[in-house]
Structure formats: structure tokens, C-alpha cells
């Protein structure tokens, strides 16, 4: 069955911007007759451990908003063998890389950054000999990269339109042994039958790489909708440091779940004038073509 998904990282409580993106992912999925799945992106164990209990609070907050999911949450930390199998299937296109960030930044041959700050991996470790690799392994555990042969990929996004981007030899497994976000997302979306990816537009620049990897793994590229983020009064992407922005914090300042849903409805142009809304009401009115294309401003505490 076709499916959409919401895939939070359980590193801090969801804030009103995250919740708005979750509502949008739900609206896109349900308005197109898709299942709606939840995936917990908990691979970065240090960050997740530091945020103990966050996953349960995230799931509870999504339920409090009235979003329903199909099936049980999928946890990336329980799928490590799937990432290993996917990388094994890519076989000799995967190579070890011993570069530090700094070495990559300083590589004399590094091509200039593209407009959005994308800095392609300069290929330093691409053709090491076995002897060179053995030598480097003595001092450092290598990351794993995919040989992309300077591919170029175009995706179609429901909001951003056609987006083209270079695909460099990106990381599949980090030097600390953690499977990389770009790998896990693609492996999981394929395995879960996700054919519609709705998420914040901060991830738009990752989409060409991920779409390309989906093809390399024999899968189909999903439909994409990268939605504008919520920003603070300074126009900066909303973040934990902005203060009272999670459901619990907002409730403490008198802004209950009903208020949050009203704010989301109004920010999406689907309701007005303090009208009380439910996800179902927003669904009746949802029209992707009419969505605001600009970031929504959330004024904390005013
Ligand atoms: N886990 C990512 C995040 O919380 C989202 C990944 C995705 O939707 O592809 O930003």
C-alpha cells in the first residue's frame, strides 16, 4: 500500500514547527488515500540517550494533536542489519574514507561550494590501494562512502518544483560506526513502502542524493513535498532555544492543544478568525496547491 510518513529524531520535544510539519505530512498522506507511518530516527545514540524519554513524549504529543498512524512505530535502532545488508548489496561501489572534516575542507582539489553550501567530497580516498588502506586503518576507523561517479539527479517536489543537484560520494556509515542519515532514510522508506516524503524544506538539498540512492538500491523514487519551516520573529528557524514552543510549554502559558491546532490551521491558510479546528476539518479543506510558500512566523510568548 502507498504510504506517507513522519520521521522525528527523538533528541528533543517536538515544537510547534515540528508539529506543523507532522500535520502537513498527515494531510498529504490522508488526502491521497495513503497509509501514514511513524519512524523513530534514533540512530545517533549519544544524542538520543541524552534526551531520555523524548520518544514517548513525541508520540504522546502527536496523539494529542489527533494525528493517527497506521501500524506500530518503526525504530531505526532495531534495523541495523537492514542498513548493513543494503550497503553490502552496493558491493564494490562502497569504499572506506579516512578523511577528517578538516582534511576535506582543505583538500586542494575541492571544487567550490555550490550555491546552497554543498561541498562535494573531493575523492581523496576513492582510489587508495589496499596497502594504503591497511596503513590508514591503524590510526583511524574509516567511514564508508558510495562511489557516485559525479552523478546528477533531478527530483520533482510538490512545492519546490523540479530540483536538480549533484550527487557526490556521500557517507553511508560514519567513522564512529553509526549508519548515516542519508542511507537509513532511503533504506527505510523503500522497506516501509513509503512513496511520499513530506518534511521540512531544510532537507530539500538532501533529496537528489537520496533519490539517486533509492535507484541504486533498485527502488522507486518517492514523491516529495518539502514544506516551509516555522521561523521566529527574527526570521530564524524555530529551535528549542526560542523558549516555550513544545506542547507542554505552550500549555503552561495558556496555549492548549486546541490553540495549537488553531494556529497551525491559520498558518496553513485553512482556517481563520479563531475558528476551532480538528485534523479532519483541515483534511476536508486541504489543497496542496494553495499552501503558503513562505515560512510561517511564530511569535513566542506574544
Ligand atoms: N529525522 C529527520 C528530522 O527529524 C527527518 C528525516 C526525514 O524526514 O527524511 O529532521
CATH of the domain at 173: 3.90.800.10
What's the pTM value of the predicted model, to 2 decimals?
0.94
pLDDT digits (tens, 9 = 90+) for 128-174: 999 999 999 999 999 999 999 999 999 999 999 999 999 999 999 99
Distance CA 82, CA 72 (A): 18
> Does residue 84 lie in a domain region?
no
Helix (H) or strand (E) holding 261: helix 257-267
Both 55 and 97 in a single domain?
no
Distance CA 272, CA 276 (A): 9
> Does residue 302 lie in a domain region?
no
> Does residue 208 lie in a domain region?
no
- Nearest-CA residue for ligand 1 atom 7 is 7
Both 171 and 244 in a single domain?
no
> Does residue 186 lie in a domain region?
no
Phi first, then psi: what are they for 50, rounded to 5°? Answer: -65, -20
Both 104 and 155 in a single domain?
yes
Could you tell me the CA-to-CA distances from 298 to 68, 101, 199, 280 in Å, in that order?
25, 35, 18, 23
pLDDT given at position 115:
53
> Does residue 190 lie in a domain region?
no
Q: What are 11's three cell numbers?
A: 533528541
- Nearest-CA residue for ligand 1 atom 6 is 7
Distance CA 246, CA 58 (A): 10
Distance CA 205, CA 181 (A): 13
**Model confidence at 71, in pLDDT bands (50, 70, 90)?**
very high
For the CA of 202, the nearest atom of ligand 1: 10
- Does 114 have pLDDT greater than 70? no
- Does 109 have pLDDT greater than 60? no
pLDDT given at position 105:
81
pLDDT digits (tens, 9 = 90+) for 77-95: 999 999 999 999 999 999 9
Host domain of residue 108: 89-180
pLDDT digits (tens, 9 = 90+) for 199-257: 999 999 999 999 999 999 999 999 999 999 999 999 999 998 888 899 999 999 999 99
pLDDT given at position 101:
85
Q: Dihedral angle at the C-alpha atoms of 178, 125, 154, 220, nearest 10 degrees?
A: -50
> Does residue 19 lie in a domain region?
yes
Determine the 3-state secondary structure of 6 from DSSP. Answer: strand
Q: Do residues 267 and 203 make contact, with C-beta atoms less than 8 angstroms apart? A: no
Q: What is the CATH number of the domain that holds 286?
A: 3.40.50.620
Distance CA 117, CA 202 (A): 12
Number of structural domains (the chain) is: 2
Distance CA 206, CA 198 (A): 13
For the CA of 6, the nearest atom of ligand 1: 8
> Does residue 122 lie in a domain region?
yes
> Does residue 169 lie in a domain region?
yes
Amino acid at each position: 500500500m502507498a504510504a506517507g510518513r513522519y520521521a522525528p529524531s527523538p533528541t528533543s520535544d517536538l515544537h510547534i514547527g515540528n508539529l506543523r510539519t507532522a500535520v502537513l505530512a498527515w494531510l498529504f498522506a490522508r488526502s491521497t488515500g495513503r497509509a501514514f507511518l511513524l519512524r523513530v530516527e534514533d540512530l545517533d545514540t549519544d544524542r538520543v540517550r541524552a534526551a531520555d524519554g523524548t520518544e514517548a513524549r513525541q508520540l504522546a504529543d502527536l496523539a494529542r494533536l489527533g494525528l493517527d498512524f497506521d501500524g506500530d512505530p518503526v525504530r531505526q535502532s532495531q534495523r541495523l542489519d537492514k542498513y548493513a545488508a543494503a550497503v553490502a548489496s552496493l558491493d564494490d561501489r562502497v569504499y572506506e574514507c579516512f578523511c577528517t572534516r578538516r582534511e576535506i575542507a582543505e583538500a586542494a582539489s575541492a571544487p567550490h561550494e555550490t550555491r546552497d553550501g554543498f561541498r562535494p567530497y573531493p575523492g581523496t580516498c576513492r582510489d587508495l590501494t589496499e596497502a594504503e588502506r591497511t596503513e590508514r586503518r591503524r590510526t583511524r576507523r574509516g567511514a564508508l562512502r558510495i562511489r557516485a561517479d559525479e552523478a546528477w539527479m533531478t527530483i520533482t517536489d510538490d512545492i519546490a518544483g523540479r530540483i536538480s543537484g549533484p550527487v557526490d560520494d556521500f557517507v553511508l556509515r560514519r567513522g564512529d560506526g553509526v549508519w548515516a542519515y542519508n542511507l537509513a532514510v532511503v533504506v527505510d522508506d523503500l522497506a516501509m513502502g513509503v512513496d511520499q516524503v513530506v518534511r521540512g524544506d531544510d532537507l530539500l538539498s538532501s533529496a537528489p542524493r537520496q533519490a539517486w540512492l533509492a535507484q541504486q538500491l533498485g527502488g522507486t523514487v518517492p514523491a516529495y513535498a518539502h514544506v516551509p519551516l516555522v521561523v521566529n520573529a527574527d526570521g530564524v528557524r524555530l529551535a528549542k532555544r526560542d523558549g516555550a514552543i513544545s506542547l507542554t510549554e505552550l500549555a503552561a502559558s495558556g496555549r492548549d492543544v486546541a490553540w495549537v491546532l488553531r494556529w497551525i490551521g491559520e498558518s496553513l491558510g485553512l482556517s481563520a478568525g479563531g475558528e476551532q479546528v480538528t485534523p479532519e476539518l483541515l483534511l476536508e479543506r486541504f489543497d496542496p496547491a494553495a499552501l503558503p510558500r513562505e515560512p510561517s512566523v511564530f511569535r513566542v510568548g506574544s
